[in-house]
Amino acid sequence: MYQRNTQQRQVILEELRMLKNHPTAAVLYTQVRSRLPKVSLGTVYRNLEMLYQSGIIQKLEFGGNEARYDGTIDQHDHVRCVQCGRLDDVDLPALAFLGGDCNDFGGFKIIGHRFEYIGICPQCRTKEENQTDDLPAER
């Protein structure tokens, strides 16, 4: 089951690694289109999934939101802004053990974990202070 090294695939991976902020597929798509104006969103999804399955990139999907992608595979956790969806890195070595030795819970074979802080990012915080009214919808 070999994979070809297409131009699209290369550009998608390069641009993903360029964008440091864990872009969504849609954001990456517009970015890639600046170099390959004819790519389709379907191709972006297909390649992201392929790269993810090959263990080359990370897919960071949580709670109904759009999935976000990380061009590296080093293990670290994240903070997600409830309001705008922004996703930042968090270095929290204390969590390393969680994926480790504990590999049986009620018969489950544990193969990993997902962790994420939920919060409000700096931008959204200042927005909140300026306009005290209009609480935005939760989701």
Partner DNA sequence: CTGTCTGCAAATGGTTTGCACCATA
Partner DNA sequence: TATGGTGCAAACCATTTGCAGACAG
Q: Where does this chain bind a copy of itself (CB under 8 A)?
A: 53, 61-64, 67, 79, 81-82, 88, 90, 98, 105-122, 125, 138
Closest CA relative to residue 57, chosen from 34, 33, 81, 25: 25
Helix axes 41-53, 25-33, angle to 10 degrees: 120
Closer residue to DNA (CB): 61 or 110: 61
The reply on whether position 81 binds DNA by CB under 7 A is no
- For residue 78, the surrounding DSSP H or E stretch is strand 77-81
The reply on whether position 3 binds DNA by CB under 7 A is yes
Q: For residues 8-27, which are near DNA according to CB under 7 A?
A: 8-9, 24-26
How far apart are alpha carbons 118 and 120 in whole angstroms?
7
Closer residue to a copy of itself (CB): 64 or 93: 64
Contact by Cβ (8 Å): 48, 61 = no
Interface residue list for DNA (CB under 7 A): 2-9, 24-26, 36, 38-43, 45-47, 49-50, 61, 64, 66-67, 139
